[in-house]
């Protein structure tokens, strides 16, 4: 079960306390800038993790005065188009329904959020929009994923170039592994991946598990491929993009 640290209390809480009810994920992005984009990315990861666990989700965006602009910036990164958040507390089933009863708020660290468990997101430095203009979208996504959401991120040309090189290497490896007979994701690896992302959405820990799989000589190539394809359902890095391309 996914548990997150509630920024209001510092205590872990279940992300979906009622398993069969809707969970409302609200991204509170005050500005159309790199920090707002990171808030929306963390909300996207939270939605993906909940859906992988079978929890239906209602994803909303509030806060920014330019929501359409932020959605435009977010789409190339593989971030889903969050709906505009309602002014009141109503969920998808009306007042008091499961959408209203289960709410997770994703907001910049230190920002005020409505009552409900809050996932805090550290800022991006610099936060200006021009920091990300022209950057490869998936390299930008990886650069943001490589640091825990509680850790500020410094985005510059070096960070983006490094992330782009890592992404290209992983895509080449995944394409090569796909040419070998498929093998299932090893049970121990699957358990380690889920334990990582279910522990406060620890994406850097997920990436460390993948690095061990990439370099472990005892893991068959077919199992490496299936492992990376499985993890990418959460990461959203399009790691299988080059499968089928000429070697």
Q: What is the 3-state secondary structure (H, E, C) of the chain?
A: CCEEECCCCCCEEECCCCCCCCEEEEEECCCCCHHHHHHHHHHHHHHHHHHHCCCCEEEEEECCCCHHHHHHHHHHHCCCCCEECCCCCCECCECCCHHHHCEEEEEECCCCCCCCEEEEECCEECCCHHHCCCCCHHHHHHHHHCCCCCCCEECCHHHHHHHHHHHHHHHHHHHHHCCCCCCCCCHHHHHHHHHHHHECCCHHHHHHHHHHHHHCCCCCHHHHHHHHHHHHHHHCCCCCCCCCCCC
Q: Do 110 and 8 have their domain in common?
A: yes
**Higher-confidence position of 127 and 217:** 217
* pLDDT value at 138 more than 80: yes
Dist. CA 105–CA 116, nearest whole Å: 7
Q: Do 143 and 222 have their domain in common?
A: yes
Q: Do 154 and 237 have their domain in common?
A: yes
**Domain stops at, among 83, 116, 131:** 131
Q: Are 101 and 77 in contact (CB under 8 A)?
A: no
Q: Do 182 and 204 have their domain in common?
A: yes
Q: Do 77 and 152 have their domain in common?
A: no
Mean per-residue pLDDT, 114-127: 88
Contacts of 187 (CB under 8 A, 6+ apart): none
pTM to 2 decimals? 0.91
**Higher-confidence position of 178 and 128:** 178
Find residue 26's DSSP bridge partners.
60, 105
Q: Do 140 and 220 have their domain in common?
A: yes
pLDDT at position 95: 40
Q: Do 98 and 138 have their domain in common?
A: no
Q: Do 43 and 147 have their domain in common?
A: no
CB atoms within 10 A of CB 35: 25
**Higher-confidence position of 202 and 126:** 202
pLDDT at position 133: 75
pLDDT at position 244: 85
Q: Do 23 and 73 have their domain in common?
A: yes
Range of the domain at 139: 134-247
- Residue 177 banded pLDDT, cuts 50, 70, 90: very high
Count how many domains the chain has: 2
Q: Do 115 and 182 have their domain in common?
A: no
Q: Do 174 and 239 have their domain in common?
A: yes
The β-bridge relationship of strands 103-108 and 23-28 is parallel
**Domain stops at, among 98, 131, 164:** 131
* pLDDT value at 233 more than 80: yes
- Phi, psi angles (nearest 5°) of residue 145: -75, -25
């Amino acid at each position: 079960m996914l548990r997150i640290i509630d920024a209001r209390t510092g205590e872990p809480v279940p992300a979906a306390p009622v398993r069969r009810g809707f969970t409302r994920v609200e991204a509170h992005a005050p500005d159309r800038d790199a920090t707002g984009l990171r808030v929306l990315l963390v909300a996207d990861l939270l939605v993906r993790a909940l859906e992988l666990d079978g929890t239906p989700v209602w994803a909303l965006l509030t806060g920014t005065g330019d929501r359409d602009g932020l959605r435009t910036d977010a789409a190339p990164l593989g971030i889903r188009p969050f709906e505009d958040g309602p002014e009141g507390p109503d969920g998808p089933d009306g007042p008091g329904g499961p959408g209203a009863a289960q709410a997770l708020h994703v907001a910049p660290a230190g920002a005020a959020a409505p009552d409900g468990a809050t996932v805090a997101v550290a800022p991006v430095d610099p936060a200006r929009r021009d920091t990300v203009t022209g950057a490869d979208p998936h390299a930008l996504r990886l650069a943001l994923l490589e640091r825990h959401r509680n850790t500020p991120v410094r985005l510059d040309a070096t960070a983006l170039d490094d992330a782009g090189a890592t992404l290209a290497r992983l895509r080449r490896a995944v394409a090569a592994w796909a040419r070998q007979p498929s093998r299932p994701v090893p049970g121990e690896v699957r358990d380690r991946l889920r334990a990582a992302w279910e522990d406060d959405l620890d994406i850097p820990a997920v990436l460390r598990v993948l690095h061990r799989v990439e370099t472990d000589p005892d893991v068959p190539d077919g199992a490496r491929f299936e492992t990376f394809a499985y993890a990418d359902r959460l990461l959203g890095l399009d790691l299988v993009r080059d499968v089928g391309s000429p070697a």
